[in-house]
Amino acid sequence: RLRGGREDGHPFGPDATTHVYAVASGKGGVGKSTVTANLAVALAQQGKRVGVLDADVWGWSVPQLFGVRHPPVALKGLMLPLQAHGVSLMSVGFLVQGDEPVVWRGPMLHKAIEQFLGDVHWGDLDVLLIDLPPGTGDVTLTLLELIPDAQLLAVTTPQPAAQTVAARVGRMARDARMPIAGVIENMSTLVCSSCDAETPLFGEGGGARLAAGIGTTLLGQVPLDLPLRTAGDLGLPAMVATPDAPSVVELRRIAASL
């Protein structure tokens, strides 16, 4: 059923038994990659076989978030994903040298995404999380085409601007008949590390409004907290480094609900 999957003769592409979630946002900086990385680790900690495909071809952050950066090994014409914290990883960032810009356009992007699905030895995965670039560009379209059974996970902050652009992604998925798994509101409140007071720094209700607007459910609200940011910068997912941080507890709960 999946193009690039096993049925089409690609031995190791994600097949029909793999739950594929395409993690999308309307704009950058809302925490899409941070959410993806930590959901992946949480799912792996539940005993699932998990892969993360970093399809954010211009602004990849999976190498940084997982603290791995070296070229993948090739085996019999297939690339082996890198392993970190129980998760199989593939990212454009593993393939480019240093700060080289990636200047791929439509057809090359299409080919690259196709190869990431079909020419990577993902093995048998229970879950594949795809970290999409923000917005409704070529990569998102390609994935909709290659994996029509993928489900959309939309990440937004409570801010109206983030929510409005995320709604466009939701409508694009709906038009392509891609099922929508739900909305994750990130940076919902700022939790004070000394007094536990919560401040709605970016406003309130954006996640719920987005979910209602695209006809899906709000899966959870992840607070802003320091451990999630510092862990990302250190290259150790907060799900491992600070399992009790409020943001991590909520992300673990969301992962269990998927």
Give binding residues for ATP as ranges. Answer: 26-33
Give the whole-angstrom CA distance, residue 256 versus residue 202: 26
State which of residues 1, 7, 16, 29 lies at the interface with ligand ADP (CB under 6 A): 29
CB 104, min distance to ligand ADP, A: 19
- One residue of 6, 10, 19, 32 binding ligand ADP per CB under 6 A: 32
Residue 9 CB-density burial (10 A; 0-12 exposed, 13-18 middle, 19+ buried)? exposed
28 sits near ligand ADP (criterion: CB under 6 A): yes
| Binding site, annotated residues | 26-33
Query: C-beta of 125: minimal distance to ligand ADP in Å?
Result: 22
Judged by DSSP in three states, 43 sits in helix
Shortest Å, Cβ 180 to ligand ADP: 18
Site string for ligand ADP, 33-62 (x = CB under 6 A): xx--------------------------x-
Residue 189 interacts with ligand ADP (CB under 6 A): yes or no? no
30 binds ligand ADP (CB under 6 A): yes
Binding to ligand ADP, residues 83-122 (CB under 6 A): none
Site for ligand ADP in 192-231 (CB under 6 A): 222, 224-225, 228-229
Q: Taking Cα atoms as reference points, which of 214, 207, 203 lies closest to residue 167?
A: 214
Q: Which residue is nearest to ligand ADP (CB)?
A: 31
For the bound state, the minimum distance from the C-beta of residue 6 to ligand ADP, rounded and expressed in Å, comes to 30
Asked if 117 and 110 count as a contact pair (C-beta separation under 8 A), the reply is: no
Q: Which stretch binds ligand ADP (CB under 6 A): 24-32, 101-109, 144-152, 203-211?
A: 24-32
Q: How far is the CB of 11 from ligand ADP (least distance, A)?
A: 31
Q: Does 187 bind ligand ADP (CB under 6 A)?
A: yes
| Residue labelled with tokens 């960032």 | 93
| 165 vs 104: CA distance, rounded Å | 24
Q: Is 252 in the site for ligand ADP (CB under 6 A)?
A: no
CA atoms within 13 A on the CB side of 88: 20
Give the C-alpha distances (Å, rounded to integers) separating 98 from 68, 70, 192: 13, 11, 37
Bridge partners, residue 210, by sequence: none
- DSSP conformation letters of 119-147: SB---S-SEEEEEPPSSSSHHHHHHHHH-
Q: Is 25 in the site for ligand ADP (CB under 6 A)?
A: yes
Judged on CB neighbours under 10 Å (0-12, 13-18, 19+), 147 is: buried
Q: Point out which residues bind ligand ADP (CB under 6 A).
A: 25, 28-34, 61, 186-187, 222, 224-225, 228-229, 232, 247
